[in-house]
Amino acid sequence: MRLLLQVKSWYIAGGIVLGVILLSVLIGGINKYNEQQASYIIDKGEVSETIGVAGFVEAKNTARLGFPATGIVREVYVDEGQMVAAGEVLATMASGRLVAQRNSALATLRSAELELVQATRNAEDTEQAVYGVQVQNAGATVEQTIREYDEKLANAKLTLLSSNLEARSLNSNEVAAPPTITGAYTCDSEGVYYIDVYQSSAPSGFSYRVSGLENDTGTGFTNQPGYLGDCGLSIQFSDSSQYNGSRWEVSIPNKNSSTYTTNQNAYDLLVQQKTNAVESAENSFSLTTTEATATERTKAAAVAKARAELAAIDAELADRSVVAPFAGIVTDVDIVIGETATTEPIITVLAEDAFELKARIPEIDITKLTIGQKAKAVFDAKSKETLEGVVTYVSPLAELIDGVAYFQATITLAESPDWLRSGLNADVDITISAEKDVTRVPARYIYTKDGGSFVDIEENGKTKSVSVDINFEGNDGYVAVLNLEPGAKIVAPE
């Protein structure tokens, strides 16, 4: 029993000694920490002012695509998540036969181009190879000439048919204000819309029937435009007039317009210019091909023919198809076969590896922001990585969020890692101003006295108060000073 008590006493004594040792170490560590916090060795470094804002990733190129006209969807060729190439047909209102013809024409073109390249490589000398390139360029010139003038003619036709459209009363005694006609007429047929207004239970008290170029009915709107057929036009009635029983006509084009003659002459001139330009390009192509070898001439002609056939099919598909404007990934498909499509977006394509960071800057900080300022971003999805970037754009327009005005800034990232995605959130620090390699002290060591700024410097175990000339105050916890030397020891004010 006595031996057991002695053992227990030894354990108790050992525990007390160990506790004293641990307590001494802890107190020493606390004193050392307090000593470190109570003093600072003046050094050189960066002092900066930053603003912290929330940011989000947005794709540079996001195309929300729709059909150029209304119609029934015949084919949808893509699904969400599918990769597409520039120029690829995504959906069409045209027949499957026409799309199949395009695919066949494209394959023919690729084959013809390959054969032409092989013929050029097999040329007996460099001169023949040069001729092959010249043939290709001449053929491309013909294609480009046709394409450019077709686009110009389409725009001129749109202007001719859509300019200064107006509704004219069919009743010579009509007192109601003519409805306003707006929009761009996208169909090809010329003629007249007839509009018969009748009383209805619509909020405006009337509706209308459309005949002539199209047959349709619609509700009379006085506070916003309503559809006038399916060719891109809208009609809006005045809220200060009575329209029940009135009849109107809208001529396409408006030959009574002051601009009609000018627009018609411009269109006719383009038609003649296209004829002349295409003839000149084809003549140049013919002259070029005569300089090439027989084999190359044959192959080049096959390429030109294949391109022309593809261009003809593309022209027919253009008004009835949705085509990818660039290579990317399909992120949304909001249409199915058999649906009636309008001109609203139905397919969204997102370009790959083309992201930028957007940040909302509150109005209190907007005057501090300029193009070229550096920024650092930490993303919620990758919190251990920091991406650097530069402010490349600041919007002049504000958007209100919960009653506060914010201005959107664009930050171009120095790199786009593989994990970056549109929609990711980030904490963004934008450096407003910075002083590098300056003498600095932590702001907490500076105190004010008698209207001035001071620090306490320790020398030979004694402290003395020294006036400080402040050069720049950052919001990173440091202050740049002019009259202090690096290496001096300062202590925290009591």
Sheet containing strand 89-92, edge to edge, reads: 75-76, 89-92, 321-323
Q: Are 143 and 309 in contact (CB under 8 A)?
A: no
Q: Which has more pLDDT, 291 or 282?
A: 282
Report if residue 462 sits inside a domain.
yes
pLDDT tens digits, 213-242: 999 999 999 999 988 988 889 999 999 999
Q: Which has more pLDDT, 315 or 130?
A: 315
Backbone angles phi, psi at 277, to 5 degrees: -65, -45
The CA distance from 13 to 291, in Å, is 111
Provide the number of structural domains found in the chain.
4
Question: Which residue in 55, 58, 48 sits closest to 427, CA to CA?
Answer: 55
Quote the pLDDT of residue 34. Answer: 44
Report if residue 220 sits inside a domain.
yes
Residues 342 and 360 in one domain: no
Residues 121 and 231 in one domain: no
Task: Point out which residues pair with 321 in neighbouring strands.
Answer: 92
Residues written for the chain: 494
Report if residue 6 sits inside a domain.
no
pTM above 0.75, yes or no: no
**End residue of a domain, out of 256, 276, 305:** 256
Quote the pLDDT of residue 24. Answer: 55
Residues 238 and 169 in one domain: yes
Residues 68 and 181 in one domain: no
The yes-or-no verdict on residue 343 having pLDDT over 70 is yes
Residues 487 and 362 in one domain: yes
Locate 154 and state its tokens: 């389409």
Average pLDDT over all residues of the chain: 82
Residues 214 and 306 in one domain: no
Q: Are 346 and 333 in contact (CB under 8 A)?
A: yes
> Which structural domain, as residue segments, surrounds residue 419?
40-60+354-494
Residues 198 and 49 in one domain: no
Locate 301 and state its tokens: 């002609």
pLDDT tens digits, 244-289: 999 999 999 999 888 888 888 888 888 887 787 777 766 666 655 5
Q: Are 89 and 321 in contact (CB under 8 A)?
A: yes
Residues 451 and 480 in one domain: yes
pLDDT tens digits, 353-386: 678 899 999 999 999 999 999 999 999 988 899 9
Query: Which pairs with CB-CB distance under 8 Å and at least 24 residues apart come from 23-30?
Result: none
**End residue of a domain, out of 331, 350, 369:** 350
Report if residue 392 sits inside a domain.
yes
Q: Are 319 and 335 in contact (CB under 8 A)?
A: no
Residues 313 and 207 in one domain: no
Q: Are 444 and 40 in contact (CB under 8 A)?
A: no
Report if residue 300 sits inside a domain.
yes
Hey, what's the torsion of the CAs at 457, 463, 468, 472, to 10 degrees? Answer: 40
Task: Point out which residues pair with 333 in neighbouring strands.
Answer: 347
Residues 383 and 470 in one domain: yes
Residues 363 and 424 in one domain: yes
Percentage of the chain exceeding pLDDT 90: 27
Report if residue 200 sits inside a domain.
yes
Residues 226 and 273 in one domain: no
Report if residue 33 sits inside a domain.
no
The yes-or-no verdict on residue 478 having pLDDT over 70 is yes
Quote the pLDDT of residue 291. Answer: 52
